[in-house]
Structure 1
Amino acid sequence: MDQRDEFWWRHGIFYQVYPPSFQDSDADGVGDIRGIIDRLPYLLQLGVDALWLSPIFPSPMADFGYDIADYTGIDPLFGTMEDFDALISAAHASGLKVILDLVPNHTSDQHPWFAESRSSRDNPKRDWYIWRDPLPDGGVPNNWLSEFGGSAWEHDATTGQYYYHAFLAQQPDLNWRNPAVREAIYDVMRFWLRKGVDGFRVDVIWHLIKDAEFRDNPPNPHFREGRPPHERILTQYSTDQPEVHDVIAQMRRVTDEFEARILIGEIYLPLHRLVAYYGNDLGGAQMPFNFALLSTLWSARSIETIIADYERALPAGAWPNWVLGNHDRPRVASRVGPDQARVAAMLLLTLRGTPTLYYGDEIGMHQVAIAPDQVRDPFEKNVPGLGVGRDGCRTPMQWSAADNAGFSTATPWLPVPDDFIHENVVNLEADARSILSLYRALIKLRKELPQLVSGDYLPIAAEGDLLLYRRQSEGKAVVIALNLGAEPVSMASDAAGLDGEILLSTFLDRQGEKIEGVLDLRGNEGAIIAK
């Protein structure tokens, strides 16, 4: 990949690495930077273009790195700054980009900034965080709730005020209305950009600005028992405030100081609100992450509607993107089932827009059941019994049938499932029809066909479990036909314009087959047809 290509992210494929679980190089049971370097050849063979690394900064690990104690260091658990420099060098030499997680909404309570802020009410950094007086009865300032359970306000006995934390009490929120906070984070961004990182995925970017009046959030009329307790209220005043877009525009200007960099936003919002994060005149995030496929009903009509709504909502000139899995959501193979996981792969890699893969999805890793005594996720510990734990999608990468799936010679920080003996990279590489072989074939085909990257998306009317669309560019087209059901489907191909030659089936066994008059798909099968 051309390192100077300003729009590389439009035709690139992103791959999220969760560092503790990718590859352990020093036998402590936790993945590290050297392990990632060792596995770069695998990623090159897979065909991805950019690595996004979840946090590797110094942290007490209350939330596994999303509680940062030093924004410009490397946690010894993952290695050294020299290791990171070596990763950047090796990745760039191979044509791979490197994206870092930026976590600007909150720090660790062990960060020196917070130590100063909580030391006294008149400390110069007091206003770097969000402090409020108790109510007259001594109660919390408002009804805002932590996403990890309980009130979002923590009382500080030393100064007699409460500080706000959208997540753990060990993760106090920064005050993004303070210009000094903004400049400090922008300097952090410049530090890593000078080191050669190719951009940032900004954690919970829609949380950065809170209501200036700290009004109570309204109740959620659609709350259901059995859901996490923070969903009892709507985050009307604690997230997605209008002023956040000024902050994002400033962040974008920082990345634009450097050549060919990208700003990605983590945003869990409905599509019509998500697209505002592209910014006025597209001066916001180049890719506000579109998570619609993570929570939709897995049916042809639901997905068809989501695609149409998203395409319709995109501002002029905005570039779409799609995500099937990440470190916070159950594995796609468990959400849709192992058979449909192949169809999901074809969907992800043939839709218009940049795809993001989550490590292990390409080998069909499933959600792992975690025994109570092995739970590491603070969300699960704080809100037990609701199945909200994220450990099950963060288990070690299954490289081989060796001990601990080839991830480590020590006991891993999270367990590997019993199926790693068969479901691992080595075995799946040897199987020409495995899901790993499918991912590689899809990525290869995507790189060969411009219409799959830059072509228009044109829906084709279909019924039942069949999802049909055309990708068309400069007079050339391919049709994608996906059966989202377990039963075979058959339809007249000439009327729908489906006649042609199969380039790829999700079963990897119909290449070159001619479609004339009738298209037949087996249950759980997808096909790419050249017109």
Structure 2
Amino acid sequence: MYRKLFLITLSWLIATPLVAASIVLNKRDAEVWLPQQALTGSLIDLDVPTVRIVQADTSFSVSVVNRRFSFNVSLSPGANSIHAEAMVNGEVMSSGAVTLTLMYTPVPLVKLRAKAQGDNILLSVDVVENPQGRALRYYWCAHAQNPAVVKLSNSSAATPSARIPATRGRYTFSLAVIAGGDSTWYQTYVVRDAQGVHAFAPDTDVPAWMQYAVVYEVTPHRFVAHGTFRDITAKLPELKTLGINTLWLQPIFQTHQIGQGYDVTNYLALRSDLGSEQDFRTLVHTAKQQGIRVMLDIVPNHTSIHHPYAADYAAWGDRSHYARFYQHTFDGAPYASFYHKDEQGFVYYFWKDLVNLDYSNEEVQRWMIEVCKYWLRAYDVDGYRFDAVWGVISRQPGFAQRLRTELKSIKPDFLLLAEDKAADANVYAAGFDAAYDWTADTTWVSQWSWQYEYHDRESRTVFNHPSTEKRVTLLRDALFNNGDPTAARLRFLENNDLPRFIRGHNLAQTRMAAALLFALPGMPMLYNGQEMGYPKHPYSGGDLFRREQTIRSLDTTGLYDHYRQLIALRAAHPALTGNNLVLQHQAPQQGVLVLHRWAGQEHIIVLLNLGDTATTVPVDAILPPGTKKRLTAIDLLTGERLKLQTGRQTTVRANAHSGRWILLK
């Protein structure tokens, strides 16, 4: 019996480790995105009234209550080693060290303002944040590339003034904000035109170049077989010839799967399969030399489930520094009906591998802001398309305006394009310059306004609706009953989520829809391959182009030349890039819709026949009020000259599935 008891006691001692007295910091090593961090610790089998916190060359004491203690630290950029220690029986007992790596350098944030008074301007500085509380000094300068030389009254003053010369154009001013030995540069500008001098308004103004932008979306790895930055660079001259002036690259950051790139695992590093940093720098530089701006695709709503921060939470739960980086509760925000939760407690919308970030956490906001600032400052990119930002705005609507302030202070004409509803004015009020041509229907997050019914593989649009009459009424509503028709919209027939347009429409319908696309206010966009009638769905495999062949040589549809013509005509006619748009005439039973576009003395009639048969349209119906009884017109798309006369029951012919741009002389 004694021997049995001895064996039981021995086995208990072996199975139960002896716990020595120790000091424990309740924190694991982490990358952090705020300099102020709160930590806690505890004592095990130890009673002391205070512990000393040691961080680099500094230390301070904190009280211990019920063997627990807490304290705050202020971190320097880079790695910060922190430990706790106490004197016990004449010897120093120390906890293990925790390393918190501050991933950015906090700098002052300012908002520059310019006020015009006749030919004179007054520049001023609003300090939004001064995170280190240091005294600030200023140095202003006018850009050497300004249309004419500008002299500032006092370059080191907070509020210098200047007289803007008579030469028209944009005058840019930079400010260095100096804190100690560090300086950060910001910009603003004024414009001299025929009406006078106008100052950039950072809270509301949109980039002037957006009015003339023709966007081309690229899926880098499929651009050619195993595509790289170098492959895109090589085809820039072709894109320039086509008329493209704005390049949108889908996510180029490190990702778990090579795919389209929306499952980001490192926002601050490039995908190795696309090439080196120098390759990307060359792409941006070459594009700018060609007159092509470059936009990146930023993914702020979610990370990959395989992101190191998400993996750390999955492994350590609430002990992870990143526990509050991710959404774990259903909050009742807009689109909450689309929430799902996985077995680890991550909330996501539609894709289980893409888990939502928690924007109520200030550290998450700072992280994403610094990511956006990094690519802007490091590569001078011209804008961001913000993926699924509808999810961010719905959960934290104030974040967008904060992001806008930080980016526009660095580059005032930086473009903020929201993947959100242009039909909702709140998207623009939040701080975005442009948004998607989606409907306001919140039961369907991403309903394209020209799409009457969702199908994951077929393009069901107003142009191929079974009812001719319905085609006209649906298109009319999409254009005029879907929010402000002149709001800055990204307009498209295809993108990385939609079925290819030509798979659901014949060539005539495709050409007609393209003619409408480039005749409307907003930013028209082509998705790579659209210009040659590429048929495969973006989610399918397959490479778009070939290294050894031009894009045009691969086109068997004639669409390349059609798009090239549309783009060139749009650039040549101010009526097509302005915001004036009215519904001139509609005849739903015929399938006819007529729009009037104008700028100054230029008037263009956009005549669409959505029907399956040719028809004629009365001249009296298509001409705007006040038009002369007799005039000459030209169809810009065909070159046909038309003699139009009102009151004589004359007509204009419209072929089936056709679009005409009639310039009134």
TM-score (norm 2): 0.59
Query: Displacement of 1:145 after TM fit?
Result: 7.6
Within the candidate set 353, 366, 389, 1:205 is matched to: 389
User: Counterparts of 2:658 and 2:504 in 1: how far apart (Å)?
Assistant: 17
Moved more, 107-116 or 455-464: 107-116
Q: How does 1:96-107 map to 2 (within 5 A)?
A: 96-107=292-303
User: Counterparts of 2:561 and 2:643 in 1: how far apart (Å)?
Assistant: 22
Moved more, 253-262 or 347-356: 253-262
Aligned to 2:212: 11
Give the counterpart letter for 1:504 in structure 2: L
Within the candidate set 422, 426, 429, 1:276 is matched to: 426
User: Counterparts of 1:427 and 1:204 in 2: how far apart (Å)?
Assistant: 33
Query: Displacement of 1:19 after TM fit?
Result: 1.1
User: Counterparts of 1:166 and 1:3 in 2: how far apart (Å)?
Assistant: 45
Higher normalized contact order (CA 8 Å, seq sep 6+, divided by chain length): 1
User: Counterparts of 1:361 and 1:36 in 2: how far apart (Å)?
Assistant: 16
Query: Displacement of 1:199 after TM fit?
Result: 1.0
Within the candidate set 577, 583, 599, 1:453 is matched to: 577
Work out whether residues 255 and 263 of structure 1, in 8 Å CA contact, stay in contact via their aligned partners in 2. no
Within the candidate set 207, 218, 229, 1:33 is matched to: 229
Query: Displacement of 1:367 after TM fit?
Result: 3.7
Give the counterpart letter for 1:450 in structure 2: P
Cα 1:286–1:117 shift into 2, 3 Å: same
Aligned to 2:504: 335
Within the candidate set 376, 380, 384, 1:196 is matched to: 380
Are 1:522 and 2:655 an aligned pair? yes
Work out whether residues 450 and 475 of structure 2, in 8 Å CA contact, stay in contact via their aligned partners in 1. no
Cα 1:109–1:246 shift into 2, 3 Å: same
Q: How does 1:474-493 map to 2 (within 5 A)?
A: 474-493=600-619
Aligned to 1:26: none
User: Counterparts of 1:277 and 1:322 in 2: how far apart (Å)?
Assistant: 16
Aligned to 1:366: 535
Work out whether residues 18 and 53 of structure 1, in 8 Å CA contact, stay in contact via their aligned partners in 2. yes
Work out whether residues 293 and 323 of structure 1, in 8 Å CA contact, stay in contact via their aligned partners in 2. no
Cα 1:340–1:35 shift into 2, 3 Å: same
Query: Displacement of 1:10 after TM fit?
Result: 1.8
Query: Displacement of 1:465 after TM fit?
Result: 1.0
Are 1:308 and 2:506 an aligned pair? no
Query: Displacement of 1:364 after TM fit?
Result: 2.0
Cα 1:311–1:104 shift into 2, 3 Å: closer
Are 1:55 and 2:251 an aligned pair? yes
Aligned to 2:153: none
Are 1:127 and 2:324 an aligned pair? yes
Cα 1:152–1:30 shift into 2, 3 Å: farther
Aligned to 1:175: 358
Structure 1: runs of 5 or more not aligned: 24-28, 134-142, 157-161, 210-239, 369-389, 408-423
Give the counterpart letter for 1:49 in structure 2: N
State the secondary structure of the residue aligned to 1:257.
helix
Query: Displacement of 1:50 after TM fit?
Result: 0.4
State the secondary structure of the residue aligned to 2:474.
helix
Aligned to 1:154: 342
User: Counterparts of 1:361 and 1:96 in 2: how far apart (Å)?
Assistant: 19
User: Counterparts of 1:99 and 1:520 in 2: how far apart (Å)?
Assistant: 41
Query: Displacement of 1:485 after TM fit?
Result: 1.9
Query: Displacement of 1:289 after TM fit?
Result: 1.3
Work out whether residues 425 and 483 of structure 2, in 8 Å CA contact, stay in contact via their aligned partners in 1. no
State the secondary structure of the residue aligned to 2:263.
coil
Give the counterpart letter for 2:222 in structure 1: S
Work out whether residues 2 and 8 of structure 1, in 8 Å CA contact, stay in contact via their aligned partners in 2. no
Cα 1:479–1:71 shift into 2, 3 Å: same
Cα 1:126–1:312 shift into 2, 3 Å: closer
Query: Displacement of 1:362 after TM fit?
Result: 1.8
User: Counterparts of 2:336 and 2:390 in 1: how far apart (Å)?
Assistant: 16
Q: How many residues matched?
A: 419
User: Counterparts of 1:189 and 1:302 in 2: how far apart (Å)?
Assistant: 38
Are 1:391 and 2:539 an aligned pair? yes
User: Over alpha carbons, which structure has the higher Rg?
Assistant: 2
State the secondary structure of the residue aligned to 2:253.
coil
Aligned to 2:349: 166
Query: Displacement of 1:258 after TM fit?
Result: 2.3
Structure 2: runs of 5 or more not aligned: 1-168, 173-190, 192-206, 439-447, 453-461, 464-470, 625-630
Q: How does 1:399-414 map to 2 (within 5 A)?
A: 406=549
State the secondary structure of the residue aligned to 1:310.
coil
Aligned to 1:223: none
Aligned to 1:91: 287
Are 1:425 and 2:425 an aligned pair? no
User: Counterparts of 1:455 and 1:152 in 2: how far apart (Å)?
Assistant: 41
User: Counterparts of 1:294 and 1:31 in 2: how far apart (Å)?
Assistant: 32
User: Counterparts of 1:63 and 1:111 in 2: how far apart (Å)?
Assistant: 16
Cα 1:50–1:312 shift into 2, 3 Å: closer
Q: How does 1:196-275 map to 2 (within 5 A)?
A: 196-208=380-392, 240-241=394-395, 244-259=396-411, 260-267=413-420, 269=421, 272=423, 274-275=424-425
Higher helix share: 1
Q: Which whole-Å deviations, capped at 9, do the CAs of 1:139-193 have from their partners, x for residues lacking one?
A: xxxx9787xxxx822223xxxxx11122433322111110100000100000011
Work out whether residues 255 and 261 of structure 2, in 8 Å CA contact, stay in contact via their aligned partners in 1. yes
Q: Which whole-Å deviations, capped at 9, do the CAs of 1:9-54 have from their partners, x for residues lacking one?
A: 122111111112213xxxxx32221110011011100111101111
User: Counterparts of 1:527 and 1:469 in 2: how far apart (Å)?
Assistant: 10
User: Counterparts of 2:544 and 2:633 in 1: how far apart (Å)?
Assistant: 36
Query: Displacement of 1:510 after TM fit?
Result: 4.2
Give the counterpart letter for 2:436 in structure 1: F
User: Counterparts of 1:62 and 1:132 in 2: how far apart (Å)?
Assistant: 30
State the secondary structure of the residue aligned to 2:255.
coil
Query: Displacement of 1:491 after TM fit?
Result: 1.7
User: Counterparts of 2:660 and 2:434 in 1: how far apart (Å)?
Assistant: 28
Are 1:503 and 2:635 an aligned pair? yes
Q: Which whole-Å deviations, capped at 9, do the CAs of 1:93-138 have from their partners, x for residues lacking one?
A: 11111110000111122322223333231322210112359xxxxx
Query: Displacement of 1:342 after TM fit?
Result: 0.1
Aligned to 2:558: 434
User: Counterparts of 2:526 and 2:283 in 1: how far apart (Å)?
Assistant: 20
Work out whether residues 321 and 355 of structure 1, in 8 Å CA contact, stay in contact via their aligned partners in 2. yes
Percent of residue pairs identical: 25
Query: Displacement of 1:478 after TM fit?
Result: 0.7
Give the counterpart letter for 1:263 in structure 2: L
Cα 1:395–1:295 shift into 2, 3 Å: farther
State the secondary structure of the residue aligned to 1:480.
strand
Aligned to 2:24: none
Query: Displacement of 1:344 after TM fit?
Result: 0.7
Q: Which whole-Å deviations, capped at 9, do the CAs of 1:255-294 have from their partners, x for residues lacking one?
A: 2122210111112x5x64x332001xxx511001113345
TM-score (norm 1): 0.73
Cα 1:399–1:478 shift into 2, 3 Å: farther
Q: How does 1:104-123 map to 2 (within 5 A)?
A: 104-118=300-314, 119-123=316-320
User: Counterparts of 1:41 and 1:206 in 2: how far apart (Å)?
Assistant: 35
